[in-house]
Amino acid sequence: MAQTKQWKDATPSYRSANLTGRLIPGTTRSHMTAVVLCDAAAPQQVFAALSDALGNNGPAVLVRDARASRMVAAGETPLTEAPEGTALLIQTSGTSGKPKTVALSAAALRSSAVSAHERLGGAGQWLLALPLTYIAGMSVLVRSIESGTEPVYMPSGPFDARTFLHSVSEMTGERRYTALVPVQLARVLDEAEDSTDALELLRSLDAVLIGGQALEPELRERADSLGVKIVTTYGSSETSGGCVYDGVPLAGVSVEIAEDSGEILISAPQLATEYVADEQRTADTFQNRNGVTWYHTGDAGSLENGVLTVLGRIDRVITSGGLKIDLDAVEAVVRAIAGCSQALAIHIPDSEWGVRPAVVVPGVEHSAELSAQIYDAIVAELGRVAAPKIVCFIDEIPRLSSGKPDLLALSAFAATQK
């Protein structure tokens, strides 16, 4: 029976001559942890650095891609130190677009890996198909380290379904896992529906974790009908990655819904310790109640019979294709256009990207010219990722009893337009 390689024998040290990580100048070790910058394009080097960090034998790891490196070169102040006990730093954008740096301890990361493997049926070999600048990608490495196996790495570059399936064929573990976002899954399913060999490879995976955004029911049904073992995950950098699988919290994870706001609150051993150099955000997000720390997710949700349903962001930031889009920013661009001062930006389901922005303009007759103007203005100001799936027109905005726009009704309306 084929076994996975032991990573200690296969992975070069990041301290070797082929240095891809570097200690940041000015880092101190008094009540702080040294930081090593690692290149996202060198996953084996990241793996080695992370292995040391998880064993408390090395500095905290911060992975940067080419874009982030250019930002540093252009004058961004680099992170010089991490809180004592930090093993991994994940940088992500908040609602305002201001980057936040999440500090995760070795204990939190290991707890995440142990609980994930327990839910999945045991430790196994992992295929890395996600960027290492995101917690989902780093979690693949953490789980590999925890299970003592070497992951299979996809070649760098844009995701390609055929390359993914070839990488699956290189896996040798008794149990085999990977993690994808919905748009990647859609492309892999396209291949599997056209090829018996591709489908057989996909079915050989004991679990395909899907996170980053909501999984459309249509996409889930496609996977289920093909016999692909899908597990939907919910979590964030602040929870060391997914901590709720198929709506059910992992072992040790507690989930509550705030009565006043409907916000999802999480308590777990895999919570982050803080946001680096942001005491106020840390205090607002990680709140102590009766000696227990609760993470305020900013997501709305409901709990029924112990199963969590995520209803969307409270703060109007959506994740589409793994990227964040601020609907308020989209709305501001549209409202600057003549005749669109009352326009609203909402989100609607999309079979490939999970969700996409949509724009609803009240009190204006349908106009292809105005629709094109709105589309172009959004792309010019916010980039193509924020481009609306549809621009539609309505006589007047439906409203709740409070007088606020009924966004759910608008989303339902926009989803039916062609």
**pLDDT surpassing 90 at residue 236:** yes
Q: Which of 311, 345, 376 is the last residue of a domain?
A: 311
Residue 1 lies in a domain: no
Tell me what percent of the residues of the chain surpass a pLDDT of 70: 87
Do both 399 and 296 map to the same domain? no
**pLDDT surpassing 90 at residue 296:** yes
**pLDDT surpassing 60 at residue 403:** no
Do both 151 and 271 map to the same domain? yes
Residue 2 lies in a domain: no
**Count of domains observed in the chain:** 2
The whole-number pLDDT of residue 183 equals 84
pLDDT in tens, 67-118: 655 555 545 666 778 999 999 999 875 433 456 899 999 999 999 999 999 9
Identify the band that residue 41 occupies on the pLDDT scale cut at 50, 70 and 90: very high
Q: What CATH code is carried by the domain that includes residue 88?
A: 3.40.50.12780
> How many CA atoms are closer than 13 Å to the CA of 120, on its beta-carbon side?
30
Which residue range forms the structural domain that includes residue 17?
A: 7-311
pLDDT in tens, 3-24: 333 333 333 344 432 333 434 4
Do both 52 and 149 map to the same domain? yes
pLDDT in tens, 173-229: 999 999 998 889 999 999 999 999 999 999 999 999 999 877 878 899 999 999 999
Q: Which of 273, 290, 311 is the last residue of a domain?
A: 311
Q: What is the pTM of this model?
A: 0.74
The whole-number pLDDT of residue 315 equals 73
Q: Which of 64-73, 155-164, 259-268 has the lowest mean pLDDT?
A: 64-73
The whole-number pLDDT of residue 14 equals 43
The whole-number pLDDT of residue 409 equals 86
Q: Which of 248, 282, 311 is the last residue of a domain?
A: 311
**Taking all residues of the chain, what is their mean pLDDT, rounded to a whole number?**
86
CA distance 270 to 47: 20
The whole-number pLDDT of residue 218 equals 86
pLDDT in tens, 117-134: 999 999 999 999 999 999
